[in-house]
Amino acid sequence: ENVAPNAARKLSFAETEKSGRRILAFVRVRPLGKKEKDAGSRCCVRIVDRRDVYLTEFASEKDYLRLKRLRGRHFTFDASFPDSVTQQEVYSTTTSELVEAVLEGRNGSVFCYGATGAGKTYTMLGTVESPGVMVLAIKDLFSKIRMRSCDGNHAVHLSYLEVYNETVRDLLSPGRPLVLREDKQGIVAAGLTQYRAYSTDEVMALLQQGNQNRTTEPTRANETSSRSHAILQVVIEYRARDAAMNVINKVGKLSLIDLAGSERALATEQRTVRSLEGANINRSLLALSSCINALVEGKKHIPYRNSKLTQLLKDSLRGTCNTVMIANISPSNLSFGETQNTLHWADRAKEIRTKATDANEDLLPVPETETDRTKLVLELQKENR
């Protein structure tokens, strides 16, 4: 490819804000895995100009060369990353601008969305050799703080938490589930560890450790959790004095979110109550889809209260928050259905626009009983269809 690495990035937050768009949407295709190769998969995804994604069920490479065009569905995102992209490039294109904004006292959030095995954790956490967005963001943050150190004091606090089965847990200090409370600043998890971080080096180890604490499903002991959402919250507090010695205090929050596998939430075929319970549909992910649908449609009522995840992310989705969605997909034709669902979802999220009615509170009660929950899940599924 002869396209410059960041050439596709034509929209910045400032520009999207003018157009009213609130979410920047990116797609990352991971390389074909060994299992997929062994199973004889073909690649059904093609990225053109680092922007367009073509999903082709039948066209072969030969067809492509002969017809010079691709058959199948086509999507356009703010940038689309082929499997050769580096972690650093993904970070610079998607998140570095948010880090800048957070230092100015704004909030920002980055979500990774996609089926289990599509590359969400690799993108967010990465490995020791190739650290992902979470680690690169913190590294960048510390280097930006160093450059501004004569302006005032910055304190960086980290929290790493999990939502699994509508239970919130502290990944930095595992123990009893955390209770969500509403206070002046919004929804907070009571008792959550706020780890004061001083350097990048300690952070990677801390996050790896936290990831070990993520809930793994008993039936898939060797796989990382596919139904748990991991949220890293980085709070930056800035204190300084102006010329008149008045205290200036700015607080910005960056949330980096590795969502649960989307495959179960997207199974939207008609289900009975019993099979729903059996399948243990991820209520938080469904609720997130509902909120996104409601935001896209400019609805007055945004149902944040329907799940723990959406309560926690309320201040990341509404108002003036800068939001980035990274959709992770496999290139294999064996994952065609999941990939198509993920691309549709990201395509829709892209359409969330700022509305004057954003400040509306939602006042629906939080469902308490199992039957209420099941009813709610069915309703959410219907809404999302």
What are the φ/ψ torsions at residue 64 (nearest 5 degrees)? -60, -45
| 34 known member of a binding site | no
Q: Which does 31 bind (CB under 5 to 8 A by kind): Mg ion, ligand ADP, none?
A: ligand ADP
**Residue with token string 């495959």:** 263
Question: Quick one: 95 or 328, whose CB is closer to ligand ADP?
Answer: 328
Question: Quick one: 218 or 365, whose CB is closer to ligand ADP?
Answer: 218
**Nearest distance from C-beta of residue 114 to ligand ADP, angstroms:** 6
Helix (H, G, I), strand (E, B) or coil at 330: coil
Question: Quick one: 80 or 116, whose CB is closer to ligand ADP?
Answer: 116
Question: Quick one: 259 or 377, whose CB is closer to ligand ADP?
Answer: 259
Question: Quick one: 266 or 302, whose CB is closer to ligand ADP?
Answer: 266
Q: CB under 5 A: which stretch of 77-85, 112-120, 136-144, 154-162 binds Mg ion?
A: 112-120
| Residue closest to Mg ion when measured from CB atoms | 121
| 190 known member of a binding site | no
Nearest to 377 by CA among 311, 294, 303: 303
**Nearest distance from C-beta of residue 161 to ligand ADP, angstroms:** 17
| 119 known member of a binding site | yes
**Nearest distance from C-beta of residue 130 to ligand ADP, angstroms:** 8
Residues 6+ apart with CB under 8 A from 119: 28, 30, 328, 329, 330
Site for Mg ion in 171-230 (CB under 5 A): 224
Q: How far apart are CA 9 and CA 120, in angstroms?
A: 21
Cα maximum dimension of the chain: 71
**Nearest distance from C-beta of residue 261 to ligand ADP, angstroms:** 6
**Nearest distance from C-beta of residue 344 to Mg ion, angstroms:** 21
| 114 known member of a binding site | yes
**Nearest distance from C-beta of residue 268 to Mg ion, angstroms:** 22
| Residue closest to ligand ADP when measured from CB atoms | 119
| 118 known member of a binding site | yes
| 115 known member of a binding site | yes
- The one-letter code for the residue type at 383 is E
Count, residues near Mg ion per rule CB under 5 A? 3
Question: Quick one: 224 or 333, whose CB is closer to Mg ion?
Answer: 224
The DSSP code sequence of 316-374 is: HHSTT-EEEEEEEE--BGGGHHHHHHHHHHHHHHTT-B--GGGG----PPPP-SHHHHH
Q: How far apart are CA 64 and CA 342, in angstroms?
A: 24
Q: How far apart are CA 78 and CA 99, in angstroms?
A: 18
| 250 known member of a binding site | no
| 354 known member of a binding site | no
Site for Mg ion in 115-154 (CB under 5 A): 120-121
Q: How far apart are CA 156 and CA 151, in angstroms?
A: 16
Q: Which residues pair with 323 in a beta bridge?
A: 23, 109
**Nearest distance from C-beta of residue 45 to ligand ADP, angstroms:** 13
Q: Which does 114 bind (CB under 5 to 8 A by kind): Mg ion, ligand ADP, none?
A: ligand ADP
Given the rule CB under 6 A, which residues bind ligand ADP?
30-31, 33, 114, 116-122, 224, 261, 328
- In eight-state DSSP terms, residue 68 is S
**Nearest distance from C-beta of residue 121 to ligand ADP, angstroms:** 3
Structure tokens, 341 = 């669902």
**Residue with token string 């569905």:** 73
Burial track 42-70 (b if 16+ CB lie within 10 A, e otherwise): bbbbbbbebbbbbbbeebeeeeeeeeeeb
Question: Quick one: 125 or 234, whose CB is closer to Mg ion?
Answer: 125
Number of Cβ atoms within 10 Å of the Cβ of 146? 9
Q: How far apart are CA 146 and CA 22, in angstroms?
A: 30
Q: How far apart are CA 362 and CA 275, in angstroms?
A: 30
Q: How far apart are CA 204 and CA 213, in angstroms?
A: 14
**Is 262 a binder of Mg ion (CB under 5 A)?**
no
Q: How far apart are CA 295 and CA 318, in angstroms?
A: 8
Q: Which does 229 bind (CB under 5 to 8 A by kind): ligand ADP, Mg ion, none?
A: none
Question: Quick one: 78 or 258, whose CB is closer to ligand ADP?
Answer: 258
- The one-letter code for the residue type at 95 is T
Annotated binding site for ATP: 114-121
Query: What is the contact surface with Mg ion in residues (CB under 5 A)?
Result: 120-121, 224
